[in-house]
Structure 1
Amino acid sequence: MRILLTALVLLSAPVLAQPPSPPKPESVPKPTSFFRQLQETRSFNSGRPVGATVTPDEQTLFFLRNSATSNALSLHAFDVATGQSRELLTPESLLQGAEETLTPEEKARRERMRMNSRGFSNYTLSDDGKKLLMGLSGKLFVVERASGKVTELKTGPGVIDPRLSSDGTQVAYVREHDVYRLDLATNTERRVTKGGTAEKTHGLAEFIAQEEMYRFSGYWWSPDAKALAYTESDTSGVEKLSIADTGNPAQGAQQLSYPRAGKANARVRLGVIPVTGGKTTWVNWDAEKYPYLATVRWPAKGPLTLLVQNRHQTEEVLLAVDVKTGRTTPLLVEKDDAWLELDQTFPHWLEDGSGFLWGTERNGAPELELRDATGKLVRSLVPPDAGFGGLVGYVEKEETVYFVGGTNSAERYVWRARKGDKPTRVTTGGPALESARLSPRGGLLVVTSEGPKSMRSTVVLKADGTRVGELPSIAKEPPFQPRLEVRQVGKERFPTSLVRPRDAKPGVKLPVIVEIYAGPGTAMVRQSMASHLTAQWMADQGFLVVRLDGRGASPTADAKLRKPKYDFPKVLMDEQVAALRALAAEVPELDLNRVGITGGSHGGYMSALAVLTRPDVFKAAVAVSAVTDWRDYDTHLTERFLGLPDEHPDAYAQSSLLTHVKAGQPMGKLLVIHGTADDNVFFFHALKLSDALFRAGQSHEFLPLSGMTHMVYSDPQVTERLWEHTMRYFKQHL
């Protein structure tokens, strides 16, 4: 991440209709160490195990863990037989005291992945379980498990996305815009692809794939380790936008290929090349009709498979590839009147290549299907009414699927379904949010869980639910427990959460702060202690802090509620207002005459929209990293919701904040906060909004964060000052 620790500058718009009185000294929160603790402990998650991987023999489980106040991850091993853990490898031992460094390309990739950890941010276990591949500070290391021998690989500089071949004899990676491979026996590298440039990269996922499709790789090993499939991403026709570090004017501007809505995307094609280099066989599909290469799979048995989408994201085709000729054969076609959701888990090919698992919403809600090798439906494994949330694993010999989900959007559990029977829970207790990984043989489950009164913990279970042990945590615990209440309100059963001050008195009305994101189909209300720590700090300043989900947050909701098209901002805002009023009907302490709202990214957009279009409800907003005009945001996400600008200009006009900025029109108080180095929602979004408000004579405040990216809460000091300023603003205006 490109973080510059420079001073924050607070700018107020010169035109103020009625300048607000300065807050009384006692109304401003005193400086607190809570946010410094929050950042130094990565929200009290440092020291908790992550990235668990089970060996093929199910005897050992590897995981990453850092110290309680560090973000540098080291490698640990859990012995299944004894339940004991030990540290295997640390970043310090490999770097021998040298400082860890990251290339600009790797920093950008981590920004897309929302990753702020250091050290061993990831690792790979070979298919036979004998080797570990570790990446650190642009260098690669291979660990032989039997002997413990560590070998530094002789790669050139700037290695990105390293991965072992299936037979564990080679490593592939990207550097200098091309795909390389290194032979482990001789520790020598060879350039596989040639001709890659900054504007025509080989083996790297383009911006849209990383940011919106969650496809972070651009190359794939063949199962026999003799070939590689790779993308060529040509951004020469993509509009170039500049990011300048205004606090460092001598540094110059950075040029980025950024496809704004309605404009040109990167042109992406897929090729297959021998690992020894040579001629590329290009894969053929109708790229004019289906320009988005969404997903690529090359299973151990089964064809090289790719999923391609049309520009409107209303139709996609799953294709099997003949790698000798590049010809493709359709396996299935999916269509949706609104848009198709992507899940990089699918297709999940069976070990024998006889078929694959497929996720679909064809029947109104998420569903898991089993299909044969030709794409023909065999049967439904998880029905649409089960609340399927994600695949954990499939045990073929038992015809048993494990998945996470449930019909309550505020909770998530691990479920098991045998041979198409009704799903049953693997775990007990709750409320909780669970995620899981299944071992390759299906004998072990690694379940991570958190709840309203507990932080994240990870246990190892046998597939039948019998407990094996727990991965040890050395994390610091938060200094308080949120006073969290989760309920469904109104006849619509809106999911809501409420955090009260710890010294709140029954019956005493308090001002309200709504925390919002409200992307279509996104749930904010969660039975989670970790996600409400900041809310409790805010509440203790004398507020009731609430989160409100629309009906579309439920995985089993009607498709039109889950996928509001074209007028989605109004639909989502109306749902927020209805949920707020329904909650107030049950909680009389909510003072609906004093309601503020805040959020980041899409939540920042909704916060600004709230005070512009519903000042009767929302009196003040703090909008962080907000989109101002959707014509200035990226193609894949924007066009999914609004269509193409030329085809639906009214949808873009009504969704733009600028449309709702009018002279003399009532609006709530607004504080705009934005990082100057944001390469996702560019800083000019905030400038456009502030300029429009200024010209309309509308009072507002503007806080630019010098050198900060879209991840504005990544620096402890900045985070502390941001929240202090946010609460000062709400105390002043509510």
Structure 2
Amino acid sequence: MRQLAAALLLASLPVFAQSPSTPMSDRKMDPFLQQYSETRRFMSGRPVKPRITVDEKTVLFLRAQPQSSTQTLFAFDVATGATKELLTPAVLLKGVEETLSVEEAARRERMRVSARGFTSYDLSEDGERILVGLSGKLYVVERTTGKVVELKTGVGIIDPRFSPDGKQVAYVRDNDVFRVALATNKEQRVTQGGSPEKTHGLAEFVAQEEMSRFSGYWWSPDAKFIAYAESDTSAVEKLTIVDVMHPERGGNVFAYPRPGKNNAVVRLGITPVTGGKTVWVAWDAKAYPYLATVVWQKGGPLTVLVQNRTQTEQQLLSVDARTGKTQVLLTEKDSAWLNLDQDFPRWLEDGSGFLWFTERNGGPEVELRNADGSLARSWVKPEAGFRTLVRFLEKDRTLYFNGDANPTESYVWRVKDGGAPEKLSTGATGPANEMAVTVSKQGGLLVALSQSDTAMPRYHVLRTDGSRVGELPSVAVEPSFTPRVQFFQVGPEGFHASVIRPKDAKPGVKLPVVLKVYAGPTTTVVRHSMAENLLNQWLADKGFLVVKFDGRGTPLRTAAWERQVKYDFATVTLDDQVAALRALAEKVPELDLARVGIEGWSFGGYMAALAVLKRPDVFKAAVSGAPVVDWLDYDTHYTERYLGLPQEHPEAYEKSSLLTYAKDMSKPMRPLLLVHGTADDNVYFFHTLKLSDALFRAGKPHDLLPLSGLTHMVPDPLVTQRQNEWVLGYFQKHLAP
């Protein structure tokens, strides 16, 4: 198993290592922190990935045991409320340990999946068969009889899915698309010539990491053809990750496109499932090199969304599957960038048109478009706070979506025939984050996930008329306390803010502050969520005020608000955190602005390091986890969306790079702890090493905690526990009176 590598003073690492204020050997195991880590943040044992069968009689879901990451398959009976276990990984593996290929492990990393066992499953259209994958093999479960059939495939299966008619299963193996006809249980190759540098049927890195497109092949509605992406990475720069604890094992090589450099060359082919000649789809790939979205739905043609490199323009194209010729349905443009939503387009089954997502009018909006792409009407207005599409029921022209105008909350809404949104309640009282996970195809049943400041996530099974059916049972360990969170809007900009006090806090007594930060595009941190604030309450109870802010550049407000970071990650993001901090202190006078620390991960790690380097007058200590140090070293699709091409906007990269501020000798160096997984294939470990080297050369002491063998996620319970002990110790030492 992976072990925690403590911060060491090594000749090869330019770092001045320090320990927490109390030596680890003298510390007792913190009961909460141990339980928090071993239960995967109290989430193990809770249902995930619910699916409603077409007859609305059963809800399938996955669930692990309270202190396990291995998920098994369950069925909830809608009529009786009873739950039974359908299948376990242990039955299929028969005592053999589960294994993952490098490709599958990387795919799960992109999807942020840390569970084992059954991490996903597919349900046939008629609801009679369930498809599960395990250790690179495939199994079909007959739902009524419980019979399990192993499909006769080669090993190393990726992305398995039923055909629309439920009679076939397709997947990717050895860089090509294969299929199995269930009647014969015989494997057949669908595509030819796939290789590690020219894959067939797999989404390339930036599609998975930044576009949320995790698949690279698509069934035709009649199950006779498959469209597949060919991703040629031969000209893409290759980066190697070596397990530094086991250099004898060699390294894994990944195609990783950095800003201004070559991307994968992606094209789309169409081939009969029985094999044969590929018809290649033709579009202006020079102008629109990104294949962002592909859909092939009943009622509509094969449809693709392609983007230009800077993501300021995109075209939605219909494809003639016989010839590969395309026709433009619509063109979207934005002077800053265009956000993607993989739920769109959504074709109506009668072929009369499709639903479309746009921010053209200042906020997220859902439109109904005619089949030729022309606008029919706006269905969900920008002010409604649309976030995710759940389902569109054509029989009564009702659209279900999740969202709210307040970015700290979320609810389930439905819009009938383009009218006013109607809120559906799952029963929560007070501000909450509720979302419909799925609505049945017939429209009579929904499963909603609900959480609030005082309730952990729960899955409710409801009728769409609002009546309650039951709850998917959890076996999770419940936390021993409830966080005490206060919410504010502060400053003239109305920044959303939250603060957590120690349980024994006394009014008027000044306390050191820890700012938990992300502050970047795509994510907010101020939300009504008990689960997200458990660790923050634990930290607060050690004698801190823990605060969070969402400034400009974050989503869920207006398009203009989010786009304030164009060409500059380092100014408005940090300025807003400082302004919000000072504005909050006017309402919460216990905040000691002379003792402020900051902690974050990924973009938040970048912000934490930026804070002590650029504003040491405000921030007196920082813990920076997996920071992007130089944006020239991150990936193309994310970075160029916000900072543009480095050849065209070098100043954007210069002002946004931590290396720029590391060299600044005019400011004092505040305590900075850098934490990074050595096997991170998203934000590579060399980011932290580059910053450490720059600080070392500038004569600026700092601390480094490498997490040996870990990636951008930290699923190891012991590492999670030790890491948080180090964070606590660091702030106790450097924010003391």
Residue 22 of structure 1 deviates from its aligned partner by 8.1
Which stretch of structure 1 is more off in the superposition, 479-488 or 165-174? Answer: 479-488
Q: Which amino acid aligns with 1:418?
A: K
Residue 43 of structure 1 deviates from its aligned partner by 1.3
Task: Tell me what 1:557 maps to.
Answer: 558
Q: Is the 8 A contact 2:216 2:228 kept in 1?
A: yes
Q: Is the 8 A contact 2:9 2:16 kept in 1?
A: no
Identity of aligned residues (%): 62
**CA 1:241 to 1:19, structure 2 compared with 1: closer, same or farther past 3 Å?**
closer
Q: Distance in 2 between matches of 1:22 and 1:152?
A: 52
Task: Tell me what 1:633 maps to.
Answer: 634
Partner SS, residue 542 of structure 1: coil
Task: Tell me what 1:386 maps to.
Answer: 384
Q: Is the 8 A contact 1:521 1:554 kept in 2?
A: yes
Q: Distance in 1 between matches of 2:405 and 2:342?
A: 22
5+ long unaligned stretches in structure 1: none
Task: Tell me what 1:66 maps to.
Answer: 64
* 1:408 counterpart (401, 406, 409): 406
Q: Distance in 2 between matches of 1:567 and 1:105?
A: 34
Residue 302 of structure 1 deviates from its aligned partner by 0.9
Task: Tell me what 1:683 maps to.
Answer: 685
Q: Is the 8 A contact 2:500 2:547 kept in 1?
A: yes
Residue 733 of structure 1 deviates from its aligned partner by 1.0
5+ long unaligned stretches in structure 2: none
Residue 277 of structure 1 deviates from its aligned partner by 0.7
Task: Tell me what 1:494 maps to.
Answer: 495
Which stretch of structure 1 is more off in the superposition, 560-569 or 454-463? Answer: 560-569
Q: Which amino acid aligns with 1:209?
A: A
**CA 1:378 to 1:640, structure 2 compared with 1: closer, same or farther past 3 Å?**
same
Residues 512-550 of structure 1: per-residue CA shift (max 9 Å, x gap)? 000011112521101000001111111111111111111
Task: Tell me what 1:621 maps to.
Answer: 622
Q: Distance in 2 between matches of 1:162 and 1:22?
A: 47
* 2:706 counterpart (683, 691, 704): 704
Residue 13 of structure 1 deviates from its aligned partner by 9.5
Partner SS, residue 571 of structure 2: helix
Q: CA RMSD in A?
A: 2.0
Q: Is the 8 A contact 1:11 1:703 kept in 2?
A: no
Residue 103 (structure 1) aligned with residue 105 (structure 2): no
Q: Which amino acid aligns with 2:298?
A: A
Which stretch of structure 1 is more off in the superposition, 91-100 or 671-680? Answer: 91-100
Which stretch of structure 1 is more off in the superposition, 642-651 or 46-55? Answer: 46-55
Task: Tell me what 2:80 maps to.
Answer: 82
Task: Tell me what 1:455 maps to.
Answer: 456
Q: Is the 8 A contact 2:9 2:17 kept in 1?
A: no
Residue 137 (structure 1) aligned with residue 135 (structure 2): yes
Q: Distance in 2 between matches of 1:111 and 1:17?
A: 29
**CA 1:408 to 1:22, structure 2 compared with 1: closer, same or farther past 3 Å?**
closer
Q: Is the 8 A contact 2:20 2:730 kept in 1?
A: no
Q: Which amino acid aligns with 1:206?
A: E
Q: Is the 8 A contact 1:309 1:317 kept in 2?
A: yes
- What TM-score comes out, normalization by structure 1 length? 0.97
Q: Is the 8 A contact 1:401 1:417 kept in 2?
A: yes
Q: Is the 8 A contact 2:40 2:717 kept in 1?
A: no
Task: Tell me what 2:292 maps to.
Answer: 294
Q: Distance in 1 between matches of 2:370 and 2:13?
A: 66
Task: Tell me what 1:250 maps to.
Answer: 248
Residue 20 of structure 1 deviates from its aligned partner by 8.8
* 1:432-581 correspondence to structure 2 within 5 Å: 432-436=432-436, 437-520=438-521, 522-553=523-554, 555-557=556-558, 559-581=560-582
Task: Tell me what 1:594 maps to.
Answer: 595
**CA 1:374 to 1:22, structure 2 compared with 1: closer, same or farther past 3 Å?**
closer
Partner SS, residue 454 of structure 1: coil
Q: Distance in 2 between matches of 1:15 and 1:706?
A: 14
Partner SS, residue 507 of structure 1: coil
Residue 370 of structure 1 deviates from its aligned partner by 0.9
* 2:40 counterpart (30, 39, 42): 42
Partner SS, residue 456 of structure 2: strand
**CA 1:624 to 1:272, structure 2 compared with 1: closer, same or farther past 3 Å?**
same
Q: Is the 8 A contact 1:322 1:328 kept in 2?
A: yes
Q: Which amino acid aligns with 1:566?
A: Y
Which contiguous aligned blocks of 4+ residues in structure 1 show a shift greater than 6 angstroms?
12-22, 24-29
Q: Distance in 2 between matches of 1:164 and 1:116?
A: 24
Q: Distance in 2 between matches of 1:147 and 1:22?
A: 57
Q: Is the 8 A contact 1:240 1:256 kept in 2?
A: yes
Residues 302-335 of structure 1: per-residue CA shift (max 9 Å, x gap)? 1001110000000011110000000001111111
Q: Is the 8 A contact 1:13 1:702 kept in 2?
A: no
Which stretch of structure 1 is more off in the superposition, 139-148 or 202-211? Answer: 139-148
Q: Is the 8 A contact 1:13 1:701 kept in 2?
A: no
* 1:338 counterpart (328, 336, 347): 336
**CA 1:196 to 1:561, structure 2 compared with 1: closer, same or farther past 3 Å?**
closer
Q: Which amino acid aligns with 1:555?
A: L
**CA 1:248 to 1:433, structure 2 compared with 1: closer, same or farther past 3 Å?**
same
* 1:18-29 correspondence to structure 2 within 5 Å: 23=21
**Paired positions, count:** 731
**CA 1:466 to 1:563, structure 2 compared with 1: closer, same or farther past 3 Å?**
farther
Task: Tell me what 2:373 maps to.
Answer: 375
Which stretch of structure 1 is more off in the superposition, 181-190 or 701-710? Answer: 701-710
Q: Distance in 2 between matches of 1:246 and 1:527?
A: 40
Q: Is the 8 A contact 1:29 1:727 kept in 2?
A: no
Residues 310-366 of structure 1: per-residue CA shift (max 9 Å, x gap)? 000000111100000000011111111111111111111112222111111000000
**CA 1:209 to 1:17, structure 2 compared with 1: closer, same or farther past 3 Å?**
closer
Q: Is the 8 A contact 2:54 2:440 kept in 1?
A: yes
Which stretch of structure 1 is more off in the superposition, 71-80 or 356-365? Answer: 71-80
Q: Is the 8 A contact 2:241 2:251 kept in 1?
A: yes
Task: Tell me what 2:196 maps to.
Answer: 198
Task: Tell me what 1:648 maps to.
Answer: 649
**CA 1:27 to 1:377, structure 2 compared with 1: closer, same or farther past 3 Å?**
farther
Q: Is the 8 A contact 1:13 1:699 kept in 2?
A: no
Q: Distance in 1 between matches of 2:486 and 2:546?
A: 11
Residue 418 (structure 1) aligned with residue 416 (structure 2): yes
Task: Tell me what 1:209 maps to.
Answer: 207
Q: Which amino acid aligns with 1:612?
A: L
Q: Is the 8 A contact 2:220 2:226 kept in 1?
A: yes
Q: Distance in 2 between matches of 1:730 and 1:542?
A: 10
